[in-house]
Amino acid sequence: MKHLDKSLFFLLVLGLSVSMPARAGLEEGLAAFKAGNHAAGLREILPLAKKGDPKAQYLLGILYYAGRGVPQDYRLAAKWYRKAAEQGHVAAQIDLGFMYANGLGVSKDSEKAVEWFRKAAEQGDPDAQFNLALMYENGTGVPQDYGKAAQWYRKAADQGSVDALFNLGLMHYRGQGVPRDYDKASEQFHRLAEKGYSDAQVMLGMMYLAGQGVTQDYKKAVEWLRKAAEQGNVRAQALLGAMYQEGKGVPKDRVIAYALYNLSATSEPALDGVIGGRKAVSEEMTPYQIEAGQELTRELMKPGNFLKALDAATGAR
């Protein structure tokens, strides 16, 4: 779930469409906070917030949320977010929804979270649209409705939300809320994979492995799984281990398969198939091979060394 960046540098580009005196006060307050003079910043912003300026109210909410210049206080953050949100401030509506969704400063209330996300989504904000889609997909605060989830994901994706595009791709892949369409799913995953989105790289690798929406190609499956695994994607590492175990797209190699399963298990032992895969391959290995696999795991774990170690191990066998 998304909520907005709390950086004060973000606030400097909010577009201050307020009266000139209020604008001056906000700009002076922001400049003071940027310079580390929190007391001076509060002196400028608090009066504006009390007079009802929504941008000052939102800023005050951020300060209480983050504990910048004031003691951290989620209750007061929610109070000021609400004042701004009730005046239609989109960012405040999103953050207030986030606080209701997580029970921060307010009683946890998924229905109210949906209410505030919807207000911001209907104003066209892609983060709010993504959050609202997620609530519909999971049936949180609203009856589960994949069709509405897909509609809101599409609106957010059309505005450039990569997470929304990925989730929309998953819905096309699964046939949830939209007709199952492997071609469309693979196209959406490919767009994201080219930009380095590791989960999309995993899905694209799986689709090449199965021949879904693309011509089956084990080497291309390995290519995309390598890209994701290099970024630390645990599922990609485990799937790559299975490719080495079965010799699909790569030479069959139990030591490398063991090392990749072992690497995945180190980060996420509960991931489906990881422990079982490691156990299955280890039963066909000698103690010396298992020791070599453990050493390779250590090499793979070194920062920036994943592909170098993997390629060296592949070339050495």
The CATH number covering residue 263 comes to: 1.25.40.10
- Residue 80 domain-assigned (yes or no): yes
- Residue 192 domain-assigned (yes or no): yes
Is 196 found in the same domain as 77? no
- Residue 76 domain-assigned (yes or no): yes
Examine the pLDDT at 33 and tell me if it is beyond 80: no
In a 13 Å sphere around the CA of 221, the CA atoms on its Cβ side amount to 24
Neighbours of 85 (CB within 10 A): 25
Is 88 found in the same domain as 210? no
Is 196 found in the same domain as 89? no
For the CA atoms of 267, 229, 135, 77, the dihedral, rounded to the nearest 10 degrees, stands at: 70
pLDDT value at residue 91: 95
pLDDT value at residue 37: 79
- Residue 159 domain-assigned (yes or no): no
Mean pLDDT of all residues in 175-180: 96
Final residue in a domain of this structure, among 50, 75, 98: 98
**Number of compact structural domains in the chain:** 2
Domain that holds residue 2: 1-98
Examine the pLDDT at 9 and tell me if it is beyond 50: no
pLDDT value at residue 294: 97
Is 191 found in the same domain as 83? no
Higher pLDDT, 272 or 247: 247
For the chain, where are the alpha helices, taking DSSP H only? 8-11, 20-34, 38-50, 54-66, 74-85, 90-102, 110-122, 126-138, 146-158, 162-174, 182-194, 198-210, 218-230, 234-246, 254-267, 274-282, 287-301, 306-315
Determine contact, residues 78/61, Cβ cutoff 8 Å: yes
pLDDT value at residue 64: 92
Is 219 found in the same domain as 93? no
The whole-model pTM stands at: 0.86
- Residue 161 domain-assigned (yes or no): no
- Residue 108 domain-assigned (yes or no): no
- Residue 171 domain-assigned (yes or no): no
pLDDT value at residue 273: 87
- Residue 88 domain-assigned (yes or no): yes
Token pair belonging to 155: 């609106």
Final residue in a domain of this structure, among 98, 115, 148: 98
Final residue in a domain of this structure, among 98, 118, 135: 98
Is 196 found in the same domain as 66? no
Higher pLDDT, 24 or 188: 188
Mean pLDDT of all residues in 24-28: 71
pLDDT value at residue 3: 64
Mean pLDDT of all residues in 215-225: 98
Confidence of residue 4 (pLDDT cuts 50, 70, 90): low
pLDDT digits (tens, 9 = 90+) for 118-171: 999 999 999 999 999 999 999 999 999 999 999 999 999 999 999 999 999 999
Examine the pLDDT at 36 and tell me if it is beyond 80: no
